[in-house]
Chain A
Amino acid sequence: QKEVEQDPGPLSVPEGAIVSLNCTYSNSAFQYFMWYRQYSRKGPELLMYTYSSGNKEDGRFTAQVDKSSKYISLFIRDSQPSDSATYLCAMSMFSGGYNKLIFGAGTRLAVHP
């Protein structure tokens, strides 16, 4: 079983739709959960960072973590064409103070006008 699983998509939605992106993981030691956005041929850009279970909201973005189910989600409200990108989930655990990130495969999202 892969450590982090993420459906690669592609996901195509109309402008204004609510988008739901998800990852599952197998290692219960993961404590920190992140969503990065990656535009074509660019580096990952941090969108959301959460620790422990629960919801975190930032503008049109909501990150949700369910540690009991080992499942994390990112919701995008009122999606815009500029949201078209690949969305990467990433997670890490405390391991002696060092913080390597384990990434999912990324979900490619296309928002069409």
Chain B
Amino acid sequence: EPEVTQTPSHQVTQMGQEVILRCVPISNHLYFYWYRQILGQKVEFLVSFYNNEISEKSEIFDDQFSVERPDGSNFTLKIRSTKLEDSAMYFCASSEGAVQETQYFGPGTRLLVL
């Protein structure tokens, strides 16, 4: 069964460093998402991406964040200068369409900023 994959599974970084989280969505999907979950808190929407551009972003997704689809398979989330409060589990999701389409989630990347 096709699945969303994410690398790395864990990332430890120093405050102020740049990190890139990688995702491979399901191959025929067209809509891509990033969510995050701070430990003990709810899953929060960060950004949606379609047709090589951001379609919607949350207040959390400020200028320190960017997304890219560098090739036909990968979807990345970059945090330019990490802060302590960026420590969280980051989930990538993809869906075949937008409305009424199931979003499939990857296993997540646990980011720890020291």
Contacts and interface: CB of A to CB of B under 8 A. Distances in A.
A101 B108 contact: no
A46 B93 CA distance: 11
A32 B45 contact: no
A97 B99 contact: yes
A104 B48 CA distance: 19
Contact of B105 (A45, A97, A106): A45
A101 to B, nearest CB: 6
Given A44-B43, A104-B42, A99 B107 contact: no
A42 interface: yes
Interface string B23-59: 0000000010101000001111100101000011010
Where chain B touches its partner, the secondary structure class is strand
Contact-residue bracket for chain B: 20 to 34
A102 B55 CA distance: 16
Which of B91, B99, B107, B108 has the most A CB atoms < 10 Å from its CB? B99
Given A42-B107, A49-B102, A94-B99, A99 B41 contact: no
